[in-house]
Amino acid sequence: MRVVSWNVNGIRACVKKGFADFLERAQADIVGVQEVRALYEEIPDEARAPAGWHTAFVAAERRGYSGVGIYSRLAPERVETALGEAQFDIEGRYIAAHFRTERGRFAVVNAYFPKGDGKNRDNSRVPYKLDFYRAVFERIQRMRRRCPTLVIGDYNTAHREIDLARPKANVKNSGFLPVERAEIDRWLEAGWVDAFRALHPDEPDRYSWWTQRGGARERNVGWRIDYVLASPAAMKRVEGAFIWPERKGSDHCPVGIDIDL
């Protein structure tokens, strides 16, 4: 089974750049998208209900902002669309799908973690970002006791220096602040596994997001901020992990894993 995560930076724009073709060619069984930035009825038909896919979306109350969705070949038994805290749920950042196969149950959480820089790039939204991390963490800790669990999405944090091209220039910027990186540490210390880094521990220059300024993508001056984190039970079944920088259509590229579920 292939599970893919992609921040599409606006589903309507991504559709114009080949999203439907991506769905057909990715050979994926589950695809989580972030930053949908559209209400359900605003999503183009080919992305809202493509043939052969079950879909579920969560939109933000604010138009053209945030939003997440899940595509799956297998029908989910149930889908969660809220964390139960209004400050997070109004921004449409969380969706979780629960599945059952012949091998048993598993869950895929798709989250769009907030940026911390704030409107004035003053790191004013870091507390909100960390609170969201903690709310998701509390939910997935309970979830993993019941079944293998994957947490996919745009985490908006580069964990280690190897995960961004300019670590020294960004130590005071949200996305690479010590307090943000420490939150990722906390998850890993609790047993969650960064699937790509576990299988490619020392592989440099592997990024999933590039600023759209200054030809950063062409020069590969990027950040790895999109992850698949696996619970211990799920990680035992992971067979491969990948990043697809050649896939255009967004300022992020898809990331994912192959897993025996």
Q: Which residues does residue 135 pair with via DSSP β-bridges, in sequence order?
A: none
Q: Which residue of the set 154, 163, 194, 258 is catalytic?
A: 154
Is residue 158 classed as helix, strand or coil in its secondary structure?
A: coil
Residue 154 annotated in active site: yes
Take residue 139 and report the two structure tokens written for it: 């939910």
Q: How far does the chain reach from its first CA to its final CA, in angstroms?
A: 6
Which amino acid makes up residue 256? G
Is residue 36 classed as helix, strand or coil in its secondary structure?
A: coil
- Sequence-distant (6+) residues with CB within 8 A of 239 are 257, 258, 259, 260
Separation between Cα atoms, residue 225 and residue 257, nearest integer Å: 15
Alpha helices in the chain, H assignment, sequence order: 11-16, 19-25, 45-48, 86-89, 126-144, 178-189, 195-199, 216-219, 232-235
Take residue 196 and report the two structure tokens written for it: 């790509």
Q: Are 159 and 179 in contact (CB under 8 A)?
A: no
* HEC secondary structure over 165-200: CCCHHHCCCCCCCHHHHHHHHHHHHCCCEEHHHHHC
Catalytic residues: 154
